[in-house]
């Protein structure tokens, strides 16, 4: 977080040429309104000019070195679990997982293979079987997004989902009902509920640590 | 510093490449082979676009790899709405049908699995059943569309693996090298269990090479690999054991994957010895003893793969300038792969990524050399599939090999400046690799033979109609082996529903292994007797190929061979009065005592 500072005097001191004074000027204008996260600063600056996160980070560090801004740790983003659940951008994975599981559960039960809506069942079912379980495990194992890039997250999600679904099917085949519709979709829903709970706790702990 | 604005031609190129999979699928589905030819040409030429570009982001290159991967796979999967014949997928599909009808997978007892090893494989029994149950998709769609779609991400993960040792453009070209070998988009689409297992294997390898490895993810994936495919499980054991040993011998500071090795060994033995009925381990030991006895008794005289014999000139190849260029391309690729491996192996200062990947490459190279050198090994394990697995790790060696040659040229430039100096900036290495890959793809895919109207068409993608309409009965037979036709399916389904229990089915060997297995649900090779030796109390199943051309096919150890024989001579007493099913395929109930 960048501490409060005044814009006057800083502009007079800067004397840089080219794009840098513009970027810094804009940044300092935002700082006049109070502390702001570096990520949010990048977002705000991005509205006016095309700039990448690395440039903003370098600029902030430069301002801190020059004593024109202050950098401190951000407070925990959520004070309670309830508040955490309401954080939209942190919980997209949660909404996706719950949404896909619910849609697939309902579609499997109510959309027959002859129905016009069967395409929804195909898509939601494929997402549930081939992606969602692994995706939730990856979120639980790597709560820090920076630790694993998107492609590897996606690949791991698919790989882990395949294995989990095979194990679930294997266990189901030893039950009296076997691999039939209701036991299968129920088992997958229960699995998802368990995995989502674990992932939720781990991500919340990571965020508040 | 402002972010660079992407140039329009590059963006346009990426958009056009994004459309390629759809075009490829439509071309194959409509049987418009001319369009497929253009798709392959576009893919081959696009190598140059990437090679000549100064810089490209990882994301755009990965997207291109994915688009090309999908295009190549779709060119095969959409050729027919039925299962592809001549591959393991027919037996896999039959086992899936069994599970989806009984809803239970039962650990196969030893006696039942000695004929078919696939019963112990969960990736083609339980997994498709769950997918079909939840999504409502037909089993056929799961096997021909969903599983190949999953498999299409393999080259993208490989790109990520190659990026640990190569630049983005070189990693892209290496991923293309892997894809250009036709097993990727032809043979493997007929082996569903290997597609699933390869996806899991490359993810495991990517985790193994990553510094962000997660033990839990590795354990889950290892178990998944073991229950997905026995051969790749053994390969994975070999890889991790070899990496561990190399790490110990060289005392490198790389983390040794001993836990992974032990886990893989224990899971494999536990699964295949106790749950899978033990047949897989018996087959493995039989294959090993066969190879060992071949080494001891008949090392030089033992059978070697046709590809190897052709490569050393022991088999007479076809003549002509295109065939010579093709042969040269194949030699160049193999030479650069070996050269690249040697350069990397003997490099003095290796990066961390290179030190991590080298044991895997060494294992792959040793596996490949062994399959070429040892008698019986390639015949047992199938050389093209071994090569495909080896390329997972060896593909970057092509770029490294060309790069080493470029360095050699630079050395020469220093000594003889007047003869070797280039007058303009030119990304020599990438362009040379692109030329090799372009030529390699166009020849190995059969594109060149289709365009030049070569006497012997090789590709069902480009030449299906030429194969079907050929006057050469061998080519016709090849067509009917690859494509299971709808009349044959109708006849197979009819006989499976109306067969009397005291009658067996007599058919030619290809029908017995393909259509009667997949659609009649008879065990592969176990539906009855083989033409022309029909037992008493047989139904005679004659497929479209048999009825239309009057030929039957029989099998040798290597492949199905066509041999002439009129259907009215097969069992001589067959008459139109004995025909109980009519269509382009026919069934006779004429062989009775």
- A vs B, Cβ pairs < 8 A, gives 152
H or E segment and range at residue B530: strand B528-530
B490 touches chain A (CB under 8 A): no
**In a domain? residue A19:** yes
**In a domain? residue B582:** yes
- Which tokens sit at B412? 């020469």
> Does B100 score more than 50 pLDDT?
yes
Range with top average pLDDT, A169-183, B266-280, B577-591? A169-183
pLDDT of residue B144: 93
Q: Which one of A125, A162, A170, A176 makes the best mutation probe of the B interface by having the most chain B beta carbons within 10 Å?
A: A162
pLDDT of residue B15: 94
**In a domain? residue B372:** yes
Angstroms from B478 CA to nearest CA on chain A? 34
Instruction: Note whether A142 contacts B214, CB cutoff 8 Å.
Output: yes
The answer to whether residues B388 and B510 belong to one domain is no
A177 neighbourhood in chain B, CB within 8 Å: 103
**In a domain? residue A74:** no
**In a domain? residue B452:** no
ipTM of the complex: 0.88
B3 touches chain A (CB under 8 A): yes
Instruction: Note whether B135 contacts A152, CB cutoff 8 Å.
Output: no
The answer to whether residues A45 and A129 belong to one domain is no
pLDDT of residue B593: 45
How many residues are there in chain B? Answer: 593
Residue A36's domain spans which residues? 10-65
**Could you tell me which residues come within 8 angstroms of residue B455 by beta carbon, excluding any fewer than 6 positions away?**
B318
**B538-542 vs B586-591, strand pairing mode:** antiparallel
**In a domain? residue A72:** no
The answer to whether residues B364 and B483 belong to one domain is no
**In a domain? residue B305:** yes
B219 touches chain A (CB under 8 A): no
Angstroms from A204 CA to nearest CA on chain B? 20
**C-alpha closest to that of A73 among A112, A118, A38, A29:** A38
C-alpha dihedral (A178, A183, A187, A188), degrees to nearest 10: 100
Nearest to A159 among B122, B146, B200 (CB): B200
The upper half-sphere exposure of residue B558, i.e. CA atoms within 13 Å in the direction of its Cβ, equals 10
C-alpha dihedral (B560, B196, B284, B559), degrees to nearest 10: 10
Instruction: Note whether A181 contacts B135, CB cutoff 8 Å.
Output: no
Last residue of a domain, one of B399, B427, B447: B447
B101 touches chain A (CB under 8 A): no
pLDDT of residue B314: 61
**In a domain? residue B1:** no
The answer to whether residues A87 and A61 belong to one domain is no
pLDDT tens sequence for chain A (209 residues): 443 333 333 333 333 444 455 778 888 888 877 778 888 788 878 777 777 888 888 888 888 888 888 887 776 667 787 888 878 778 889 999 999 999 999 999 899 888 888 999 999 999 999 999 999 999 999 888 777 888 999 999 999 999 999 999 999 999 999 999 999 999 999 999 999 999 999 988 887 76
The answer to whether residues B494 and B417 belong to one domain is no
Let me know if B303 is exposed, middle or buried by CB neighbors in 10 A (0-12, 13-18, 19+): middle
- Which tokens sit at B534? 């029909």
Nearest to B203 among A147, A159, A166 (CB): A159
The answer to whether residues B324 and B238 belong to one domain is yes
pLDDT of residue B140: 92
**B window 169-198, beta carbon within 8 A of A:** 196
**In a domain? residue A176:** yes
**In a domain? residue A73:** no
B354 neighbors B165 (Cβ within 8 angstroms): yes
pLDDT band at B120 (very low <50, low <70, confident <90, very high): confident
Nearest to B126 among A141, A179, A188 (CB): A179
The answer to whether residues A127 and A58 belong to one domain is no
Q: pTM of this prediction?
A: 0.85
Instruction: Note whether A152 contacts B2, CB cutoff 8 Å.
Output: no
Angstroms from A143 CA to nearest CA on chain B? 12
B217 neighbourhood in chain A, CB within 8 Å: 137-138, 141, 156, 160
The answer to whether residues B427 and B514 belong to one domain is no
**In a domain? residue B274:** yes
Instruction: Note whether A159 contacts B136, CB cutoff 8 Å.
Output: no
The answer to whether residues A26 and A113 belong to one domain is no
**In a domain? residue A5:** no
The answer to whether residues A194 and A102 belong to one domain is yes
The answer to whether residues A157 and A121 belong to one domain is yes
- Which tokens sit at B177? 């090298």
Instruction: Note whether A166 contacts B227, CB cutoff 8 Å.
Output: yes
Q: List the beta strands (DSSP E) in B132-211.
A: none
The answer to whether residues B443 and B499 belong to one domain is no
B127 touches chain A (CB under 8 A): yes
The answer to whether residues B482 and B443 belong to one domain is no
What is the number of structural domains in chain B?
2
Instruction: Note whether A148 contacts B212, CB cutoff 8 Å.
Output: yes
The answer to whether residues A107 and A192 belong to one domain is yes
pLDDT of residue A100: 94
pLDDT band at B316 (very low <50, low <70, confident <90, very high): low
pLDDT of residue A146: 73
B211 touches chain A (CB under 8 A): no
> Does B37 score more than 90 pLDDT?
yes
pLDDT of residue B589: 75
Task: Please give the Cα distance from B340 to B240 (Å, whole number).
Answer: 22
The answer to whether residues A35 and A118 belong to one domain is no
Instruction: Note whether A163 contacts B221, CB cutoff 8 Å.
Output: yes
The answer to whether residues B347 and B493 belong to one domain is no
> Does B156 score more than 90 pLDDT?
yes
What percentage of chain B carries pLDDT values higher than 90? Answer: 38
Q: List the beta strands (DSSP E) in B444-527.
A: 504-507
Average pLDDT, chain B: 83
pLDDT of residue B412: 54
**In a domain? residue A71:** no
Task: Please give the Cα distance from B487 to B544 (Å, whole number).
Answer: 7
Mean pLDDT value across residues B219-240: 90
Instruction: Note whether B146 contacts A130, CB cutoff 8 Å.
Output: yes
The answer to whether residues B430 and B513 belong to one domain is no
A145 neighbourhood in chain B, CB within 8 Å: none
What is the number of structural domains in chain A?
2
**In a domain? residue A56:** yes
How many residues are there in chain A? Answer: 209
DSSP H stretches of helix in chain A: 10-14, 19-31, 38-48, 53-65, 81-85, 92-110, 118-130, 132-141, 150-172, 181-208
Nearest to B146 among A112, A126, A174 (CB): A126
The answer to whether residues A20 and A95 belong to one domain is no
The answer to whether residues B307 and B347 belong to one domain is yes
**Could you tell me which residues come within 8 angstroms of residue A182 by beta carbon, excluding any fewer than 6 positions away?**
A109
**In a domain? residue B381:** yes
Convert the pLDDT of each residue in B478-535 to its tens digit. Answer: 888 889 988 889 888 888 888 877 778 888 878 888 888 888 888 776 666 777 677 7
The answer to whether residues A30 and A86 belong to one domain is no
CB neighbours (10 Å) of residue A71?
12
The answer to whether residues A128 and A46 belong to one domain is no
> Does B424 score more than 60 pLDDT?
no
Residue B505's domain spans which residues? 478-591
pLDDT of residue B310: 65
Strand partners, B554: B561
- Write phi, then psi, for B423 (nearest 5 degrees): -95, -10
**In a domain? residue B91:** no
The answer to whether residues B186 and B235 belong to one domain is yes
The answer to whether residues B344 and B205 belong to one domain is yes
Strand partners, B555: B560
A184 neighbourhood in chain B, CB within 8 Å: 130, 133-134
Task: Please give the Cα distance from B3 to A55 (Å, whole number).
Answer: 9
The answer to whether residues A90 and A58 belong to one domain is no
């Amino acid at each position: 977080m960048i501490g409060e500072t005044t814009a006057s005097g800083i502009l007079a001191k800067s004397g840089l040429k080219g794009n840098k004074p513009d970027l810094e000027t804009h940044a300092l204008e935002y700082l006049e309104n109070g502390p702001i996260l570096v990520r949010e600063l990048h977002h705000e600056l991005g509205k006016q000019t095309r700039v990448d996160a690395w440039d903003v980070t370098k600029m902030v560090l430069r301002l801190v070195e020059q004593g024109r801004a202050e950098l401190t740790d951000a407070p925990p983003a959520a004070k309670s679990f309830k508040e955490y659940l309401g954080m939209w951008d942190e919980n997209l994975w949660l909404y996706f997982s719950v949404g896909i599981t619910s849609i697939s559960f309902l579609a499997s039960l109510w959309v027959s293979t002859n129905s016009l809506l069967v395409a929804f069942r195909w898509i939601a079912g494929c997402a549930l079987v081939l992606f969602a379980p692994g995706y939730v495990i990856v979120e639980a194992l790597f709560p820090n997004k920076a630790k694993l890039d998107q492609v590897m997250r996606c690949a791991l999600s698919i790989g882990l989902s395949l294995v989990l679904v095979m194990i679930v099917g294997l266990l189901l085949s030893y039950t009296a009902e076997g691999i039939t519709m209701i036991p299968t979709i129920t088992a997958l829903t229960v699995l998802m509920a368990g995995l989502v709970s674990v992932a939720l706790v781990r991500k919340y702990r990571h965020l508040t640590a | 510093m402002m972010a660079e604005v992407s140039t329009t031609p590059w963006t346009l190129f990426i958009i056009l490449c994004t459309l390629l999979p759809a075009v490829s699928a439509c071309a194959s589905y409509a049987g418009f082979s001319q369009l497929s030819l253009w798709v392959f040409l576009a893919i081959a030429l696009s190598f140059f676009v990437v090679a000549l570009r100064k810089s490209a982001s990882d994301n755009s290159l990965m997207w291109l790899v994915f688009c090309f991967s999908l295009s190549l796979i779709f060119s095969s999967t959409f050729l027919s709405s039925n299962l592809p014949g001549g591959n393991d997928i027919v037996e896999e599909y039959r086992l899936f049908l069994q599970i989806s009808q009984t809803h239970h997978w039962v650990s196969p007892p030893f006696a039942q699995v000695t004929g078919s090893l696939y019963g112990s494989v969960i990736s083609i029994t339980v997994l498709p059943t769950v997918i079909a149950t939840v999504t409502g998709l037909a089993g056929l769609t799961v096997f021909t569309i969903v599983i190949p779609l999953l498999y299409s991400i393999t080259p993208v993960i490989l790109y990520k693996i190659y990026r640990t040792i190569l630049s983005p453009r070189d990693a892209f070209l290496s991923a293309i090298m892997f894809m250009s070998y036709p097993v990727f988009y032809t043979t493997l689409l007929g082996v569903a269990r290997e597609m699933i297992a390869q996806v899991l294997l490359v993810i495991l390898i990517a985790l193994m090479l990553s510094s962000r490895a997660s033990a839990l993810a590795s354990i889950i994936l290892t178990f998944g690999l073991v229950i997905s495919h026995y051969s790749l499980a053994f390969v994975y054991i070999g890889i991790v054991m070899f990496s561990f040993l190399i790490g110990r011998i060289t005392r490198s500071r790389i983390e040794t994957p001993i836990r992974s090795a032990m886990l893989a060994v224990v899971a494999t033995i536990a699964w295949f010895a106790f749950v899978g009925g033990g047949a897989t381990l018996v087959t493995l030991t039989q294959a090993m003893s066969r190879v060992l006895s071949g080494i001891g008794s008949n090392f030089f005289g033992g059978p070697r793969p046709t590809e190897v014999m052709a490569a050393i000139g022991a088999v007479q190849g076809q003549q002509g300038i295109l065939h010579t260029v093709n042969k040269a391309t194949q030699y160049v690729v193999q030479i650069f792969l070996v050269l690249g491996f040697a350069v990397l192996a003997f490099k003095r200062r290796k990066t961390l990524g290179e030190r991590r990947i080298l044991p895997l490459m060494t294992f792959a190279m040793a596996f490949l050399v062994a399959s070429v050198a040892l008698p019986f090994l390639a015949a047992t394990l199938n050389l093209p599939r071994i090569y495909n697995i080896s390329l997972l790790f060896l593909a970057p060696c092509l770029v490294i090999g060309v790069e080493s040659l470029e360095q050699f040229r630079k050395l020469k430039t220093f000594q003889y400046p007047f003869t070797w100096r280039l007058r303009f900036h030119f990304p020599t290495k990438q362009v040379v690799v692109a030329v090799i890959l372009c030529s390699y793809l166009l020849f190995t895919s059969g594109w060149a033979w289709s365009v030049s109207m070569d006497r012997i068409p090789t590709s069902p993608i480009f030449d299906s109609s030429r194969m079907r309409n050929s006057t050469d009965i061998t080519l016709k037979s090849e067509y009917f082996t690859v494509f299971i036709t709808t009349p044959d399916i109708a006849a197979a389904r009819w006989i499976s529903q109306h067969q009397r229990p005291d009658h067996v089915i007599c058919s030619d060997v290809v029908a017995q292994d393909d259509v009667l297995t997949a659609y009649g649900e008879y065990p592969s090779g176990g539906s009855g007797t083989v033409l022309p030796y029909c037992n008493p109390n047989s139904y005679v199943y004659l497929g479209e190929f048999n009825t239309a051309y009057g030929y039957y096919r029989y099998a040798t150890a290597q492949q199905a061979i066509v041999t002439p024989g009129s259907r009215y001579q097969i069992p001589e007493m067959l008459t139109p009065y004995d025909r109980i099913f009519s269509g382009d395929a026919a069934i006779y109930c004429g062989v009775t005592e």
